[in-house]
Amino acid sequence: MPRLFFLGTDTDVGKTRVATYLVGWLNRRHIPAIGFKPIESGCLNENGQLQPRDGLAHVAASHGLVTLDEISLYRMVQPITPSVAAESEGVHIEIGEILRTADQLEERCDWLVVEGAGGLLSPLWKRTTNLEFLASLGATPVLVARSALGTINHTLLTLRALESAGFSKTVVLLNRCSPDTTADEATNAAVIRQFTDSDIVGPFPWLESGVAETADAVMAELEAVISRRRDPA
């Protein structure tokens, strides 16, 4: 069973959009998939109830396989790094509980798609970053990066950090974060490939432009990469 961990090169690269699209795409093809975002800051406070926008998107994409409380374990109001928000709001994040929940969710699906909070070294709780969480989770990292100008540096920096921690084959998913493209978008993937053995897929389209066919093609490419890694033969 694939267990994926979606992280971003930095904030607002669209990892929730891509991760939830994958979950929904798999479920539409009758492949049970669950999206799991255990930690979320920046939640809306509606009548005393914290509403995690990303978590709600994962529930919708999971097509009734989970409830919000099952996949959104720790919620904070302040739109800041989770460790700071949690400490400020009196939320105690227990990584062990998240790992146990991941194992339980995995029993109900064929694909478990876990989404981190922020970039690779963003602190989740005290001295635990997404990197330490990823190592404990035992998942395949999927690095969501902008397809446009500036992505080469951000992507390679994150890949170097992953490689130094033993993750030698991350999947890089380039994502178009706006309807506009930059001149280097056509060459960014090729340049990144010169410095890494990681698989690179995409770019995932700007969905507001109504190009679902292209989005589905990128998901099929990602599925093929993950399947090939599970069964090299």
Helix locations, 41-184, DSSP H: 53-61, 68-71, 82-89, 95-106, 130-137, 151-164
* Residue 170 burial by Cβ neighbours in a 10 Å radius (0-12, 13-18, 19+): buried
**Distance (Å, whole) CA 157 – CA 18:** 21
Which of 15, 37, 126, 169 does the annotation list as catalytic?
Answer: 37
Separation between Cα atoms, residue 199 and residue 170, nearest integer Å = 7
- Identify whether the C-beta of residue 78 lies closer than 8 Å to the C-beta of residue 117: no
Helix axes 151-164 and 185-193, enclosed angle (nearest 10): 30
Q: Mark whether 37 is an active-site residue.
A: yes
What is d(CA 159, CA 97) in angstroms, rounded to the nearest whole number?
28
Angstrom CA distances, 95 to 100, 128, 134, stand at 9, 9, 11
Q: How far apart are CA 181 and CA 53, in angstroms?
A: 27
Instruction: Give me the count of residues in the chain.
Output: 233
Q: Which of 118, 173, 175 is nearest to 142 (CA)?
A: 173
Q: Phi then psi for 218, rounded to 5 degrees?
A: -65, -40
List residues with catalytic annotation.
37
